[in-house]
Amino acid sequence: MPANVSFEFALAQKKFDEARNDEEKIIALQEMISRAPAHKGGENLRKDLSRKLAALKSKMEKQAITAGKRTGNTINIKKEGAGQILIFGAANSGKSTFLTEYTNSKPLIAAYPYTTKKPDVGILNYGGALIQLIELPSFLERHELTPQIFSMIRVCDALVLLIKDGSIDELKYLISILEKQDVFVTKKKPNIQISKSEFSGISFVNDHFLKVPKDQAIEILKSSGFRAHNIILNQTTHLDDLMLLINPRASYKSVIVVSMPFTKSFKDVFYYKQIPIYDFSLKQEVTLKIFEILESVIVFTKKPGQKVDKTEPLVIDKGNTVLDAAKLIHKNFYKQLKSAKVWGSTKYPGQTVSKNYVLQNRDVVEFNI
């Protein structure tokens, strides 16, 4: 063991030495890098650990590709509707029950675990916005989830985590399973921008945010291939933030947690690390929250002199404008747009607005061409 390392580093190295598989080694290596000392010897140590980490991740990715080719078990569910949300939970957590109660799907439900062998799909209707919910198969504690399933998790829009009876321990377990594959639900993507520089070396903008010795931060970035870059810090930046920044596999997902009331239920929402936890019975609140985490808004349209059409609303990203909504109707429609009237978020009903007017949830818009 290198000299002058901390007790925390020694514990992380012990985890690495006792790791049963590559996933556990990766987690231990990441912790060792974050705990390595700040002196010159520590810089060399971090370089060595970073090389090992990169090699292990590359090995796992190649194994996943090979396994997929060998088994031929690829899972490709096309995104449909306003968004794609995956239902994630341990065996017997009630995923099939949730899908049945909240959507039009009728998956097989049984008292024994691992009933779901492949993803089941249902459609959740929120005020005309159709949201695709996909029930993921349960996972074994030892084998956990397949590369194909984690590929789905990485490309989905958000997650619903199911736990039994409000169990925080079960929630922590689910979060740990995700974080082993660099999928984060309790952390946000670091607000740090990276741009190429004309000059060699690494420079920091707003370095007063940096809470790591600058030399140490530079060595960490260099170990990940940064050579001539400007690092623009827009937040307080600790070592963990830098480790997330250099992790090419890191994926950040919005999440809602639902407690399945097998033996008890609660009527209020409570939180774990700012993640809302709802009781299964709060269907209206859960449905609304699922829509909200998509960062979308519903917009109704009407033709001049006619009633509002509420059968097929437009679903647009939060912050989108009248012009953005017009583009969804037809690829050439927006080019002919002269003006629009909006009911709902405007000061006056039916107020004429510009093309750049930002639409709000449940606004009614009348396009004039």
Residue 119 lies in a domain: yes
Q: Is 154 in the same domain as 34? A: no
CATH code at position 42: 1.20.58
Strands (E), 206-346: 228-233, 251-252, 254-260, 270-272, 275-279, 296-302, 308-317, 339-343
Predicted pLDDT at 364: 96
Using pLDDT thresholds of 50, 70 and 90, give the confidence band for residue 32: confident
Verify that 39 and 131 share a domain, yes or no. Answer: no
Same domain, yes or no, for 13 and 145? no
**199 shares its domain with 183:** no
Going by DSSP bridges, is the β-strand pair 308-317/296-302 parallel, antiparallel, or unpaired? antiparallel
For residues 261 and 238, membership in a common domain is answered with no
Say how many domains are in the chain.
Answer: 4
Could you tell me if 19 and 63 lie in one domain? yes
pLDDT over 50 (residue 157): yes
Domain with 118 in it: what CATH number? 3.40.50.300
Nearest to 38 by CA among 240, 212, 238, 247: 212
Q: pLDDT tens digits, residue range 52-102?
A: 888 887 777 676 656 555 544 556 688 888 999 999 998 888 888 899 989
Over residues 252-303, the pLDDT tens digits come to 999 999 998 744 555 667 888 888 899 988 899 999 999 999 999 999 999 8
Q: What does the mean pLDDT of the chain come to?
A: 84
- State whether 55 and 93 are in the same domain: no
R_g (Cα) of the chain, nearest Å: 24
345 in a structural domain: yes
CA 215 from centroid of its chain's CA atoms: 32
204 found inside a domain: yes
- Assigned domain for 325 exists: yes
Per-residue pLDDT, 170? 92
For residue 363, give the CATH number of its domain: 3.10.20.30
Judge whether 78 lies within some domain: no
pLDDT band at 140 (very low <50, low <70, confident <90, very high): very low
Position 338 in a domain: yes
Q: How does pLDDT run across 101-110, given as a tens digit for each residue?
A: 898 776 554 4
Which among 235, 265, 292 is the end of a domain? 292
Rounded (10°) angle between helices 95-102 and 283-292: 90
Amino acid at 60: M
Task: Indicate whether 238 and 259 sit together in one domain.
Answer: no
* 41 falls within a domain: yes
Do residues 144 and 229 share a domain?
A: no
Specify whether 256 is located in the same domain as 150.
yes
Give the confidence band of 143 by pLDDT, cuts at 50, 70, 90: very low
In sequence order, the 6+-apart residues with CB closer than 8 A to the CB of 350 are 341, 342, 343, 366
Global pTM reads 0.75
Same domain, residue pair 162 and 267: yes
For residue 64, the enclosing domain spans: 1-72
| Residue finishing a domain among 43, 72, 101 | 72
**Spatial contact of 138 and 90, defined as CB atoms under 8 Å apart:** yes
For residue 77, being part of any structural domain is answered with no
Q: Residue 178 contacts by C-beta under 8 Å, 6 or more apart in sequence?
A: 88, 153, 184, 185, 253
CA distance 334 to 354: 13
Looking at the structure, tell me whether residues 31 and 147 fall in a common domain: no
Strands 339-343 and 351-353: antiparallel
